[in-house]
Every structure is written in C-alpha cells, then in structure tokens.
Amino acid sequence: LCKDCRARFFADADGGCRPCPSGSSGLFAVFVLIVIGLSFVSVAVVVLSLSKTGGEKSTAATTTTLRSRRLPPSVPLVITAFQIVGLLSVANMSWPSGAQRALNAFTFFSLDVNLLASECTLPSFGAKYAASLVAPLGFVLALVLVTATFAVAQRCVGALAGL
C-alpha cells in the first residue's frame, strides 16, 4: 500500500515505492493552476455560446444554443473506450508481451494521479485521500467563482457603456 512507503518516497502505479522528484510541490501547484484555468475556459465557452443567441431573452434559443454539440458524440465515447482498455493493461492478467505493449498504449488516455507524486506534497495518505475527495468540489467552486467574475465583469462593462 502507498502508506507503507518511507518518507520522501511515493507509491507508483505498480505499487512500488519511488523517490520523490525534486519539483513535486511545483508540479502539484501547476496541476491546481491547470484545473483553475480549465474552469475559466469552461465558463468562457458557455458565455460565448450564450452570446451567440444575439442577446435574445428567449429560453428556447438559449436552450438550443447550450444543447448544440461542438464535437461529434463519437469522440467522447472513443476516449472513454480507450480509457477502459487502458485499465485492462493495469490488471494483473498475465498478458503476452505484445498484447501488454499494445494495451499500455491506451493508458495515455487515463489520468494517473501518481504522476503528480502528491504523496510528496501532501503530508499523509489521509491527506491525499481527503484531497481526492475534495477535488471535484474544488472544481465546482472554481466554476462558481469564475462565473461570478464573468457576471460582475459583464455588469461593469454594461455600466461603463451606459455612461
């Protein structure tokens, strides 16, 4: 288990212990900044989609705009299938070496939280577990803050245009 690793070591995907990289705290901070950046991009996409309705107050126009797809539905489905196949490569099933190499290629589509070496940044396994539980809530809070920022900015621009 990852809690069995010594200080300044973290558990890799295979269950072994590896030494902490020198910049693990910086890598973790960059990941948090990327999540915040993605929340800005998400809200910006929604705001731009809503602005394409031409300022109409129609609920039907807004609903149609929000429900329109930017990607074909097959793209997210293919990515999900690749993630599932990548999980098969991690399972201990005694794959032949050729099949194992082929399956390992699909692990690219899965986010491995061990790449962040968060055990090197967070003080304990319990803190890492708590952070993994709180992360989705943090993303939602970031979305709410970004949405509020966009709303305030839009009101300020509208007030300045009225002067």
Give per-residue pLDDT as tens, 33-70.
Answer: 887 788 778 777 777 766 665 555 556 655 665 566 66
Mean pLDDT of the chain: 76
User: Which amino acid would we find at residue 76?
Assistant: P
Q: If 0-12 CB within 10 Å is exposed, 13-18 middle and 19+ buried, where does residue 80 land?
A: exposed
Is 117 or 136 the better-scoring residue by pLDDT? 136
Residue 141 pLDDT > 70 = yes
